[in-house]
Amino acid sequence: MSHLLVNGVRLEVMGVGEAAPGRPTLVFLHEGLGSAGLWRDFPAALAERTGCRALVYSRQGYGASDPCALPRPLTFMHEEARGALPALLDAAGIDDAILVGHSDGASIALIYAGENGRHLRGLILEAPHVFVEPVCVEAIAKTNAAYASTDLRARLARHHGANVDCAFRGWADSWLDPGFLEWNLEEFLPGIKVPVLVIQGRNDEYGTLEQVERVCRQVSGPAERLILDQCGHSPHRDQREAVLDAMAAFVGRLL
């Protein structure tokens, strides 16, 4: 891991592999409680399978990146897509990318692709959110209770260090805010013209398959979906080999 200065903020980053000529960089956007390190070795495995370089980073307030101010605005994903993400791509010299986003990271990728889309060859989305569902709010409320009453905080601190409360409260308090019930990203979907792969588990505790349907139905470019049995909110962990195969094949079609 190292750090990259982006808009005056130190972000934890990790580069994996060397891209073959003409190949894009795989840029990994973590989930709402994730970090660069929580992807573990998955970015390296996908980079090896595709011959692409991978860039993994922790957003501000996560991992070993600089902390952020709380409370986060309810538009925190919009702000990431409009500010930090394009600035990161510029700072890292990335002019040809495939965004690999998980959960909140997938939602950020959708906003970026629908509104900006510079230097973008495709999107790989695991468990994206485009609207708020009761099942998601209920799952986050349970996680919020566990943070106060179990060892969840200590387990997350292993990945976020001093940022642990910043990471958790910035995520949970936003999603549980009554004003967040109106949050919706469908306006961005028609602006997405690059190919999209959406992956979701049938047992995802944070969202239903309607999230996948709305993305695939409303984007302007080609859209593929992979729905996995015996799989929850983290397909790359729950069904690693199936997800690696699907992502590698998708990237191969974009080369």
pLDDT tens for each residue of the chain, 255 residues long: 899 999 999 999 999 988 788 899 999 999 999 999 999 999 999 999 999 999 999 999 999 999 999 999 999 999 999 999 999 999 999 999 999 999 999 999 999 999 999 999 999 999 999 999 999 999 999 999 999 999 999 999 999 999 999 999 999 999 999 999 999 999 999 999 999 999 999 999 999 999 999 999 999 999 999 999 999 999 999 999 999 999 999 999 999
Q: Closest by alpha carbon to 143, among 177, 166, 169, 162?
A: 169
pLDDT at residue 155, as a whole number: 97
How do 25-29 and 2-6 pair as beta strands? unpaired
How do 223-228 and 196-201 pair as beta strands? parallel
pLDDT at residue 19, as a whole number: 77
Task: Quote the tokens at residue 135.
Answer: 């099942």
Q: Where are the beta strands (DSSP E) in the chain?
A: 2-6, 9-16, 25-29, 53-57, 97-102, 120-126, 196-201, 223-228
* Residue boundaries of the structural domains of the chain: 2-254
0.95 exceeded by pTM: yes
pLDDT at residue 1, as a whole number: 83
Q: HSE of 197 in the Cβ direction (CA atoms, 13 Å)?
A: 22
pLDDT at residue 18, as a whole number: 82
Q: Give the class (CATH, top level) of 2-254.
A: alpha beta
Contact 100, 52 (CB under 8 A): no
